[in-house]
With several copies, the nearest count.
Chain A
Amino acid sequence: METFKKKRVEIILEQPMVRPMLHLIEKLGVTGYTMLPHLSGKGHTGERGETDLSGALANAMIIVITSQDQAHRLMEQGLKLLTDRTGIIYMSDVEVARDQHF
């Protein structure tokens, strides 16, 4: 089976920022994403998780499979959106079978 190289961008961010980030993804013209809600974690801003009732301390993950170019753009502009905020972005290589789907 022939496969095509894409990037998998993963964004871990605070719940209230999910909508703005999805808005950015849309604006960049990326064709899809997947969202995992209700995560907990720890980083430079300390422990986070749904320990309060507001959701302000909960984490979520957004996964995006896209081309190398789009991935770089998303990483750059995503990091800008997260300036001064809690959250991380990283990317890795993946192979897909349907090149045109992503």
Chain B
Amino acid sequence: MGDVISVAMGNLLTPMVLFFALGFIAAQLRSDLEIPEAISKGLAIYLMASIGFQGGVKLSHAGFGLNVALSLLAAVALSFLLPFLAYFLLRATTLMKRETAAAVAAHYGSISVVTFVTATEFLNSQGIPFEGHLVAMMALMETPAIVSGLLLARRGASKDGGGLAGDNPQMSGEVLREIFVNGSVVLLVGGFLIGWTTGDRGMDAVGAFMLDPFKGVLCLFLLEMGLVASRRLRASKLGGGMVLAFGLYMPLVGALAGLCMAWLLGLSVGGATLLAVLGASASYIAVPAAMRLAVPKADPGVYVTLALAITFPFNVVIGIPVYLAAATWLFG
């Protein structure tokens, strides 16, 4: 127990978490500090291409086997199923409208790349290894939750008529695009395949860019995340303590689901921690645009705020070491 606390404290004092805190505090103090939008998008692209590539190189060592294939299937299933649980919890404990609840649920089935990446660096700093295909699992968990979200919203719509934009064929095309060739999915999967194909030779060639500065770039990105989360928190009216509470307990529920799945798949402690993180984290890049298109009546103020301003900080500051502690205790 003392160990868990010291590890958690160690997490709090990494440059990553401290830069996140810096951004968060700066925005609370109404500083005009601002990272240009093009820069934060550029940093995100770097992080996604790089983590994909790193995972692929790792898999090129371990090789692709049945257990990897099963893991990928399991990841899709986890992303698809979690929203139903989330929707049930939201409808049971809050007064949230159907459409908004469905959209929020979709976010929690999907994942947050930056939370994942922060967790991998945390594991690296603790010297805990993890399987390379976790990265591919992450990529595949990005969008199945969108489908569940649509099913949930449609179910609501058939009851109270309307609010869904899926009937317009143009709109359906847009939504399908978001599900299958979303930019972040393409980058993660593409980077992964390139890392897998080129292996160590590829890492030798581009490691000085793809690997060495990774942690530092992550710091800058977390600074931006801190600013964004904090500003979102100030602008938001979540409307009710049970909604806010959902943003804090749902990650724990998702992490638990991830740990169960990890147990079924026989992952290592590091891998189990990361799958817990995937279960626990909520999307704020891929899913919001799909929900804006497909479920216009859902309130983006609620789902963006929950994912970005409540669950993301919770996971980065508290969640990650807790999931590691749980994984160590269960599988260590």
B40 at the interface (CB under 8 A from A): yes
Interface of B with A (CB < 8 Å)? 37, 40-41, 44, 162-163, 168, 170-171, 174, 228, 231-232, 235, 284-289, 291-293, 296-297, 300-301, 304, 308
**4 tightest A-B CB contacts, nearest first:** A56-B288, A54-B288, A16-B292, A84-B296
Q: Are B232 and A23 touching (Cβ within 8 A)?
A: no
Q: Are A56 and B300 touching (Cβ within 8 A)?
A: yes
Q: Are B171 and A20 touching (Cβ within 8 A)?
A: yes
Chain A nearest Cβ from B300, distance in angstroms: 6
What residues on A are CB-neighbors of B301 within 8 Å?
46
What residues on A are CB-neighbors of B41 within 8 Å?
53
Q: Are A20 and B284 touching (Cβ within 8 A)?
A: no
CA distance in complex: A19, B44 (Å): 23
Q: Bin chain A's interface residue count.
A: 20 to 34
Q: Are B163 and A84 touching (Cβ within 8 A)?
A: yes
What residues on A are CB-neighbors of B171 within 8 Å?
20
What residues on B are CB-neighbors of A24 within 8 Å?
170
Q: Are A54 and B286 touching (Cβ within 8 A)?
A: yes
Chain B nearest Cβ from A56, distance in angstroms: 4
Could you write out 18 A-B pairs with CB less than 8 Å apart?
A: A14-B292, A16-B289, A16-B293, A17-B292, A20-B174, A50-B37, A52-B232, A52-B284, A52-B288, A52-B304, A53-B40, A53-B41, A53-B284, A54-B285, A55-B288, A56-B292, A84-B163, A84-B297
What residues on B are CB-neighbors of A56 within 8 Å?
288-289, 291-292, 300, 304
CA distance in complex: A31, B246 (Å): 32
Chain B nearest Cβ from A102, distance in angstroms: 21
What residues on B are CB-neighbors of A51 within 8 Å?
228, 231-232, 235
A73 at the interface (CB under 8 A from B): no
Chain A nearest Cβ from B188, distance in angstroms: 15
What residues on A are CB-neighbors of B288 within 8 Å?
52, 54-57
Q: Are B170 and A52 touching (Cβ within 8 A)?
A: no
CB-based nearest A residue for B114: A53
A47 at the interface (CB under 8 A from B): yes
Write out, one digit per residue, whether chain A residues 12-48 have a CB within 8 A of any chain B CB (1) or not (0).
0011110110011000000000000010000000110
* Contact residue among A19, A38, A53 (Cβ-Cβ distance under 8 Å from B174): A19
CA distance in complex: A53, B232 (Å): 11
CB-based nearest A residue for B224: A53
CA distance in complex: A12, B41 (Å): 23
What residues on B are CB-neighbors of A14 within 8 Å?
292
What residues on A are CB-neighbors of B284 within 8 Å?
52-54
CA distance in complex: A54, B32 (Å): 12
Q: Are B235 and A47 touching (Cβ within 8 A)?
A: yes
Q: Are A53 and B300 touching (Cβ within 8 A)?
A: no
What residues on A are CB-neighbors of B170 within 8 Å?
20, 23-24
Instruction: Please name 6 further chain A to chain B contacts, defined as beta carbons within 8 Å, in addition to the given A16-B174, A53-B41, A57-B288, sorted by A numbering.
Output: A50-B37, A52-B228, A53-B284, A55-B289, A56-B289, A84-B296
CA distance in complex: A46, B232 (Å): 12
A5 at the interface (CB under 8 A from B): no
What residues on B are CB-neighbors of A23 within 8 Å?
170
Chain A nearest Cβ from B297, distance in angstroms: 5
CB-based nearest A residue for B41: A53
CA distance in complex: A56, B289 (Å): 5
Most chain B CB inside 10 Å of its own CB: which residue of A20, A23, A53: A53
CB-based nearest B residue for A20: B170
